[in-house]
């Protein structure tokens, strides 16, 4: 199993804490030991110097003679008494390196030390010092200073001490230090746990949120907090989540649109197909009077034409909406295009007994001639179909600000306010024209809207105050 970031932080902090505690302890212990040894050597040095001075003074008082046996015995008694108190072992040697005073063991009086390096050095008139291990395994320091009368070395003041006391002290100190390190480590452990909890909390937050998001809840977001890196991560996550949520919503909507479209199309296909099938079956049964047979045949032709038109319209819509900006674009005059559309529809509008009036002008626009003519065609078709016989459809071209505007006004039943935004949907038919005989599939305005959109324009429908409906197309004017 992968360890969590908390565990890793914990281990890392602990390692650092323990390593620094141990390092610091080792360093301070060795410093401490050095210091102690130095102090001890200093003490032995001063003791031996004082002693050398005092014995030299005594000899001077004797007129340069060696100490008498009584004087030596008195000194021995005195030093033997203070020896245990001052923790130093003090010997006084004569000019041959033979001890005549020994503070620790009077039976050692008479022992010879001339061979000992530090004593040999002192006998030559210099200060001697040494560190050695004693028989019982202790480290001992030795300091020897010459006793000088006149310019003659007449003896040696020889002091020594074992480091026993420092070592004991240090052992004691080491124990206490160990305890402190353990305590310190425990404290570090607690602090580290708290710290790592605090540091990793935003990350755990992020992980929890990401899991929830992956499980399908696209509304979850992270609250950015913690270090700047984690904040950046949280911000990036939130941005990504926004993006995904939007795309998912769009996909869902697209999905809905598609399935609606498919069911609309099949619904539209079913009606003419049912009519064709009914007529064909009746004809197949035979025994149909001539007149009725013609009637059925013309139904078949009419419904087939309706299917063809439906197929064509769907194809047109598909082409416009799928187009990627490769329309054959040129500068076009809306009045001229409207005139062509009116002329093209003249047979139809005349048959409906509706007059079509074209008026006004506007700056040219950039666009596809044929498609824009289709816009006018579809709008005039609807308008003339819904205008009663003898009525008038007006196509008005004008300029408003930077836009060239084309309005198609009719004298029909008008349009309900709630229908106005929806008439541009595919297959939408307002209640007033539910009757299929008055209209087509309900794709005409969807095509209009798609064409206008592809020209970066807008189209709206509204009821006229004086009755009837007005469709308004606005397209950006060219600078002229």
Write out the residues near ligand ATP by the rule CB under 6 A. 313, 378, 382-383, 386, 410, 412, 415, 423, 428-430, 432-433, 439-446, 469
- The CA-CA-CA angle for residues 180, 185, 189, to 5°, reads 150
Give the shortest CB-414-to-ligand ATP separation in angstroms.
6
6 touches 197 (CB < 8 A): yes
The site that binds Mg ion (CB under 5 A) totals a number of residues, namely: 2
Q: Which is nearer to Mg ion, 76 or 382 (CB)?
A: 382
Question: Quick check: 393 and 349 in contact, CB under 8 A?
Answer: yes
- CA Rg value for the chain: 58
Provide, rounded to whole angstroms, the least separation between the CB of residue 255 and Mg ion.
Answer: 28
Find which of Mg ion, ligand ATP, none residue 412 binds, CB within 5 to 8 Å per kind.
Answer: ligand ATP
423 binds, among Mg ion, ligand ATP, none (CB under 5 to 8 A by kind): ligand ATP
Enter the tokens of residue 168.
């004991």
Do 79 and 54 touch, CB atoms closer than 8 A?
no
Q: Which does 404 bind (CB under 5 to 8 A by kind): Mg ion, ligand ATP, none?
A: none
Question: CB under 8 Å to 277, separation ≥6 — which residues?
Answer: none
What gap in Å lies between CA 101 and CA 414, rounded to an integer? 140
Cα–Cα distance, 473 to 383 (Å, whole number): 14
Write down the least CB distance from residue 449 to Mg ion, Å: 12
Binding at 469: pick from ligand ATP, Mg ion, none (beta carbon under 5-8 Å per type)? ligand ATP
Name the residue nearer to ligand ATP (CB basis): 433 or 460.
433
Taking the C-alpha atoms of residue 237 and residue 206, their distance in angstroms, rounded to an integer, is 8
Q: Which residue is nearest to ligand ATP (CB)?
A: 440
Closest separation between CB of residue 444 and ligand ATP, Å?
2
The alpha carbon of residue 157 and the mean position of all alpha carbons in its chain are separated, in whole angstroms, by: 78
162 vs 118: CA distance, rounded Å: 16
Judged by beta carbon distances under 5 to 8 A according to partner kind, the member of Mg ion, ligand ATP, none in contact with residue 473 is none
Residue 116: which of Mg ion, ligand ATP, none does it interact with, CB under 5 to 8 A by kind?
A: none
Min dist. Cβ of residue 443 to ligand ATP (A): 4
User: Least distance to Mg ion from the beta carbon of 265, Å?
Assistant: 17
Q: Which one, 21 or 449, has the nearer CB to Mg ion?
A: 449
Minimum gap (Å) between residue 241 Cβ and Mg ion: 44
429 binds, among ligand ATP, Mg ion, none (CB under 5 to 8 A by kind): ligand ATP
Q: How far apart are CA 462 and CA 263, in angstroms?
A: 29
Site for Mg ion, residues 416 to 455, rule: CB under 5 A? 444
Q: Which does 430 bind (CB under 5 to 8 A by kind): Mg ion, ligand ATP, none?
A: ligand ATP
Please identify, using beta-carbon distances, which residue of 14 and 432 lies nearer to ligand ATP: 432
Interaction partner, residue 386 (Mg ion, ligand ATP, none; CB < 5-8 Å by kind) = ligand ATP
Q: Report the alpha-carbon distance of residue 166 to residue 355 in Å, rounded.
A: 126
- Residue 474 and residue 458: Cα distance in Å, rounded? 5
Considering beta carbons, is residue 118 or 410 the nearer one to Mg ion? 410
Nearer to ligand ATP, 58 or 382 (CB): 382
- List residues bridging with 158 in a β-sheet: 91, 144
**In angstroms, rounded to a whole number, what is the distance separating the alpha carbons of residues 269 and 318?**
17
Residue 89 near residue 83 (C-beta atoms within 8 A): yes
User: Least separation, in Å, of the C-beta of 305 and ligand ATP?
Assistant: 12
Q: How far apart (Å, rounded) are the C-alpha atoms in residues 80 and 458?
A: 122
Min dist. Cβ of residue 452 to Mg ion (A): 15
Interface with Mg ion in residues 172-201 (CB under 5 A): none
Residue (312 or 456) nearer to ligand ATP, CB: 312
- Give CA 255 to chain center in angstroms: 32
Q: How would DSSP label each residue in 322-346?
A: H--S----EEE-HHHHHHHHHHHHH
- Please state, in angstroms and rounded to a whole number, the distance separating the CA atoms of residues 206 and 5: 13
What does the CA dihedral 248, 254, 258, 264 come to, rounded to 10 degrees?
130
Give whichever of 371 and 429 is closer to ligand ATP, judged by the CB atom. Answer: 429
- State the pairing for strand pair 330-332/365-367: antiparallel
Provide the token pair at 264.
């609309």
Specify the residue, 121 or 371, whose C-beta has the smaller distance to ligand ATP: 371
Out of Mg ion, ligand ATP, none, which partner does residue 441 contact, by CB within 5 to 8 A per kind?
Answer: ligand ATP
Binders in 335-394 for Mg ion, by CB under 5 A = 382
Q: Least separation, in Å, of the C-beta of 317 and Mg ion?
A: 13
Q: Which does 58 bind (CB under 5 to 8 A by kind): ligand ATP, Mg ion, none?
A: none
Q: Which residues bind Mg ion (CB under 5 A)?
A: 382, 444
């Amino acid at each position: 199993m992968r360890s969590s970031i908390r565990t890793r932080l914990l281990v890392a902090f602990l390692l650092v804490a323990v390593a620094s505690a141990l390092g610091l302890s080792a360093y301070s212990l060795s410093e401490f030991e050095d210091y102690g040894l130095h102090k001890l050597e200093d003490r032995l040095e001063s003791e031996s110097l004082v002693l050398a001075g005092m014995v030299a003074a005594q000899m001077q008082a004797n007129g340069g003679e060696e100490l008498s046996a009584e004087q030596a015995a008195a000194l021995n008694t005195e030093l033997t008494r203070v020896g245990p108190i001052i923790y130093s072992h003090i010997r006084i040697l004569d000019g041959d390196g033979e001890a005549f005073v020994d503070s620790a063991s009077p039976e050692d009086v008479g022992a010879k030390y001339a061979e000992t390096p530090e004593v040999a050095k002192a006998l030559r008139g210099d200060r001697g010092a040494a560190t050695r291990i004693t028989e019982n395994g202790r480290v001992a320091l030795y300091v020897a200073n010459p006793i000088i009368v006149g310019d003659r070395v007449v003896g040696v003041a020889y002091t020594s001490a074992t480091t026993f006391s420092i070592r004991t002290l240090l052992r004691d100190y080491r124990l206490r230090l160990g305890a402190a390190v353990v305590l310190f480590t425990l404290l570090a452990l607690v602090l580290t746990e708290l710290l790592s909890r605090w540091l990793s909390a935003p990350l755990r937050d992020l992980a929890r949120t990401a899991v929830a998001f992956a499980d399908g809840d696209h509304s979850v977001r992270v609250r950015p907090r913690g270090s700047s890196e984690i904040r950046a991560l949280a911000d990036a996550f939130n941005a990504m989540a926004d993006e995904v949520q939007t795309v998912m919503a769009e996909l869902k909507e697209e999905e809905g649109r598609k399935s609606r479209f498919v069911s609309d199309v099949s619904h539209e296909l079913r009606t003419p197909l049912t009519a064709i099938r009914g007529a064909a079956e009746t004809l197949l049964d035979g025994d149909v009077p001539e007149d009725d047979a013609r009637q059925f045949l013309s139904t078949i032709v009419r419904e087939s034409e309706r299917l063809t038109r439906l197929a064509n319209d769907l194809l047109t819509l598909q082409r416009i909406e799928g187009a990627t900006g490769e329309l054959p674009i040129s500068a076009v005059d809306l009045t001229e295009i409207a005139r062509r559309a009116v002329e093209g529809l003249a047979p139809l509008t005349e048959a409906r007994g509706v007059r079509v009036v074209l008026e006004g002008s506007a700056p040219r626009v950039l666009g596809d001639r044929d498609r824009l003519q289709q816009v006018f065609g579809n709008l005039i078709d609807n308008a003339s179909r819904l205008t009663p016989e003898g009525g008038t459809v007006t196509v008005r071209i004008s300029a408003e600000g930077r836009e060239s505007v084309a309005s198609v006004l009719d004298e029909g039943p008008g349009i309900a306010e709630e229908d106005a935004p929806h008439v541009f949907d595919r297959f939408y038919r307002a209640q007033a024209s539910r009757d299929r005989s008055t209209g087509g599939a309900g794709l005409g305005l969807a095509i209009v809207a798609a064409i206008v959109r592809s020209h970066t324009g807008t189209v709206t429908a509204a009821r006229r105050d004086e009755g009837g409906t007005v469709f308004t197309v606005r397209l950006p004017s060219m600078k002229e």
